[in-house]
A and B are shown apart, each in its own frame.
Chain A
């Protein structure tokens, strides 16, 4: 094999393992070596339990290959519970927390033979678009180490881009899978709300959160979705909708597919290089036989405001459980009341962005402001959803940029929370409407930074967006470009 083992896609590796050309131990050693040589610079991983990973590979080696991901190492965002492995949401308040159970998605990966590789960095509690709010330090973008990887699943995107994971899971509440995927030049899929069980996902905003894959190509994203999707009695919001064989249905082509281009996504604030790349991508989709026409999402401009009311309201309630009593970290100063213990634990346990969102969420839910903010935002959410319902009466898919700009520099938006929030302008409405969305690489800036194309479809129509994304990917070569990551020997 000419390429190093770690450079294979997950489906290529799964095929090689199934045919016995590669042993699970070899796959594991290759990716562990890659992790060691890239993590000092990138800091995509918070932790890898190499001993457990090797033991699992040994166990698999003694079995006949079975399962869609037999022997494939997959890495997990730090807000998805992995039994007995420290899971912190990149927050001090969960320091030392070792979940007593696996998230359903982790069980499903293991049932298909996957090897859980390690925990990936993220914005604290997924609050952010740059992974800068992690309590454990930043993750660097493999394409330019002076820039952010996007967020909040920045560790997941950076690891997949740098080939230190064959694939990864992330979570997406307002763009947290798609935006970092775009900024790191990988594929990121946010499934329909209810498509994937969230049992074991530490909640941020329960009406918006979804788990999904970050992958080296569209085939891998389809493969992972196939494994993790489906009804779970332990998550009452998971939907009893059959899971189609996504991977088999990728190759149907674009002939006759109707694609809408929302004009509201091509206005001020969109970087000219991103605009050009997306316009070129639309030309490619046309050449492949899709009928592309302009359309409108009239309430798109209200999505960020609506989201930051609803998401923070839900977050402030969800994060009330972190009080230093049942799990995680506590300020154990010997004196003081229970109230003071709560206040000190939360003041020291949460970082600035988490506090800001808890404050905003508590405020919009508080007496006297509830109707003006929260109740109104719930209604505007209906208007945003209705825009999509109408668009999908005419179109099979919608296409937009994933993010308004390529990856920005560290610190650029930290002092101005609102400007950070606006970097999710094209992804946020998708969560409010509960529809699926995918980001695929569609070009590079002059300075060599990746650009992402977002494809959207109606609820539970992942098949359609995967089909469009696959046809586009096969017609272009963006996904074959690799960043040159300077390898370093970890200092011990």
Chain B
């Protein structure tokens, strides 16, 4: 019984905003299956009483004074965008217009 199916790979690709070719779907299904099979070894461990480690530093909320400091100017930032119109970043149309 495979750990992941081609159909699931397509769903995950959609969640990840990747369009995959049929060949990629075939390859990733097989490769992800092998990797997921390998990581099953973690199921052998008893972890009920273990607390999770998200990162290793003894840090909670890191706060700073609410002060205005210099930041990048809008033109510098807008100039990085692959497509822009004036001072705006341009993207394909999001809002459909009502017919008629």
Contacts and interface: CB of A to CB of B under 8 A. Distances in A.
A380 B54 CA distance: 11
Interface residues of B, number: 48
Contacts of A417: 31, 34-35
Interface footprint category on A: 35 or more
Interface in B45-65: 45, 47, 50-57, 59, 62, 64
B56 A459 contact: yes
Given A316-B16, A337-B92, A239 B57 contact: yes
Contacts of A323: 17
B82 A378 contact: no
B42 A233 contact: no
B28 A382 contact: no
Given A336-B92, A380-B45, A356 B52 contact: no
A459 B58 CA distance: 12
A418 B92 contact: no
A98 B76 CA distance: 11
Nearest to A304: B38
Interface in A357-395: 358-360, 362-363, 366, 372-373, 375-383, 385
B72 to A, nearest CB: 5
Given A343-B19, A385-B53, A324 B82 contact: yes
Interface in B6-37: 8-9, 12-13, 15-20, 24, 28, 31-32, 34-36
Contacts of A193: 55-57
A302 B42 CA distance: 7
B39 A309 contact: yes
Interface of B: 4, 8-9, 12-13, 15-20, 24, 28, 31-32, 34-36, 38-39, 41-43, 45, 47, 50-57, 59, 62, 64, 72, 76-77, 80-83, 89, 91-94
29 contacts: A97-B80, A100-B72, A101-B72, A193-B56, A194-B57, A206-B55, A207-B54, A302-B41, A302-B45, A305-B41, A308-B35, A325-B82, A325-B91, A326-B89, A330-B83, A346-B16, A346-B17, A346-B19, A355-B28, A359-B13, A363-B12, A376-B47, A382-B51, A382-B52, A383-B45, A383-B50, A385-B53, A417-B31, A434-B57
